[in-house]
Amino acid sequence: MTPTADVNALVTYVVTSVVENPDDVRIDSHEENGVTTYEVTVHPDDIGKVIGRQGRVIKALRVLARAAASLNGADATVEVIG
């Protein structure tokens, strides 16, 4: 049995756990050149929390998304829109 991952659910869970306004979180995804990009939109007050100090949170989220997508034989990245 090959493991699979729901990258969208993973990104949603992590982002909603970090922010103070989880109802304002919106995640859109699109695929281009074999890479799925998850665009995260959050409340303006929560942008800093998603990015983290020196980008540590968003970097960690990108690593998690890429690792989960690799289970499906794909590639993924995460961008914060605002």
**Predicted pLDDT of residue 82:** 75
pTM of the model: 0.91
Could you give the CA distance from residue 60 to residue 13 in angstroms, rounded to a whole number? 14
Assigned domain for 23 exists: yes
Could you give the CA distance from residue 44 to residue 72 in angstroms, rounded to a whole number? 33
Assigned domain for 35 exists: yes
Assigned domain for 1 exists: no
Assigned domain for 2 exists: no
Per-residue pLDDT of the chain (82 residues; tens, 9 = 90+): 567 789 999 999 999 999 999 999 999 999 999 899 999 999 999 999 999 999 999 999 999 999 999 998 999 999 999 7
Which CATH number fits the domain that encloses residue 12?
Answer: 3.30.300.20
Segments forming the whole domain that contains residue 56: 7-80
